[in-house]
Amino acid sequence: MGSVYSQLTKQGLSRFVARLPVIDRFEAELKDLSDRDLRKYSLGLRHRAKSGEPLHKLLPEAFALVRIAGARTMNMRHYEVQLIGGMIMFDGAIAEMETGEGKTLTATLPTYLYALPGKGVHVATVNDYLAARDAELMMPVYKMLGMSVGVIESQMSSDDRRKAYSCDITYGTSKEFGFDFLRDRLLIRQTREQGLGVLGPLLAGKKEKNEEPVQREHFFALVDEADSVLIDDARTPLVISAIPGEAEKVAVACHQWAAHAEAEFEEDDHYEYDHDKKSVELTVTGRLLVRQIPKPKLLDTVGLVDLYDYVERAIKVKRDFHSGQHYVIREGEVVIVDESTGRIAEGRKWSYGIHQAIEAKEGVEVTVATGQAARITVQDLFLRYRHLGGMTGTASSSKGEFKKIYRLNVIKCPTNRIPQRKILSDRVFGNGEAKWAAIVDEIREVNALGRPVLVGTRTIEKSEELSKLLQEAGIEHEVLNAHQVAIEAEIVSRAGQPGKVTVATNMAGRGTDIKLGEGVHDLGGLHVICTEMHDSARIDRQLVGRCGRQGDPGSTRQFMALDDDCLLVGLGPKRYKKLIAFGENQTGELPAYAKLFRKAQRRIENKHFGDRKVLLYHEKQRKKMHREMGQDPYLDSPD
Annotated binding site for ATP: 82, 100-104, 513
What are the CA-CA distances from residue 208 to residues 191, 195, 211, 212, 213 (Å)?
Answer: 12, 16, 5, 8, 11
- Give CA–CA dist 48/32, Å, rounded: 22
Q: What is the DSSP letter of 225?
A: T
User: What are the phi and psi torsion angles at 79 (to 5°)?
Assistant: -70, 165
Question: ∠ at Cα 57 (56, 58), nearest 5°?
Answer: 90
Q: What is the maximum span of the chain, computed from C-alpha positions, in angstroms? A: 86
Q: Minimal CA–CA distance to 532: which of 440, 396, 427?
A: 427
Annotated binding-site residue numbers: 82, 100-104, 513
- The amino acid sitting at 568 is L
- Give CA–CA dist 396/392, Å, rounded: 10
State the pairing for strand pair 271-274/169-173: unpaired
N-term to C-term CA, the chain:
63
Q: Are 61 and 45 in contact (CB under 8 A)?
A: yes
CB atoms within 10 A of CB 471: 11
Q: Are 327 and 337 in contact (CB under 8 A)?
A: yes
As to burial, measured by CB atoms within 10 angstroms (0-12 exposed, 13-18 middle, 19+ buried), residue 483 is middle
- Give CA–CA dist 44/453, Å, rounded: 51
3-class secondary-structure state, position 603: helix
Question: ∠ at Cα 402 (397, 407), nearest 5°?
Answer: 150
Q: Minimal CA–CA distance to 505: which of 321, 345, 397?
A: 345
Q: HSE (CB half, 13 Å, CA atoms) of 277?
A: 6
- Give CA–CA dist 580/562, Å, rounded: 6
Q: Minimal CA–CA distance to 113: which of 58, 31, 53?
A: 58
Q: Are 228 and 173 in contact (CB under 8 A)?
A: no
Q: Minimal CA–CA distance to 358: which of 376, 339, 342, 337?
A: 337
Q: Are 313 and 288 in contact (CB under 8 A)?
A: no
- Give CA–CA dist 290/287, Å, rounded: 5
- Give CA–CA dist 612/618, Å, rounded: 10
Q: Are 108 and 73 in contact (CB under 8 A)?
A: no
DSSP letters, 524-582, are: T-EEEEE-S--SSHHHHHHHHTTSSGGG-EEEEEEEEETT-HHHHHHH-HHHHHHHHHH
H or E segment at 454?
Answer: strand 453-457
Torsion angle in degrees (nearest 10) through CA of 186, 188, 190, 193: -140
Q: Minimal CA–CA distance to 88: which of 312, 382, 412?
A: 412
H or E segment at 124?
Answer: strand 121-125
User: What are the phi and psi torsion angles at 343 (to 5°)?
Assistant: -105, 160
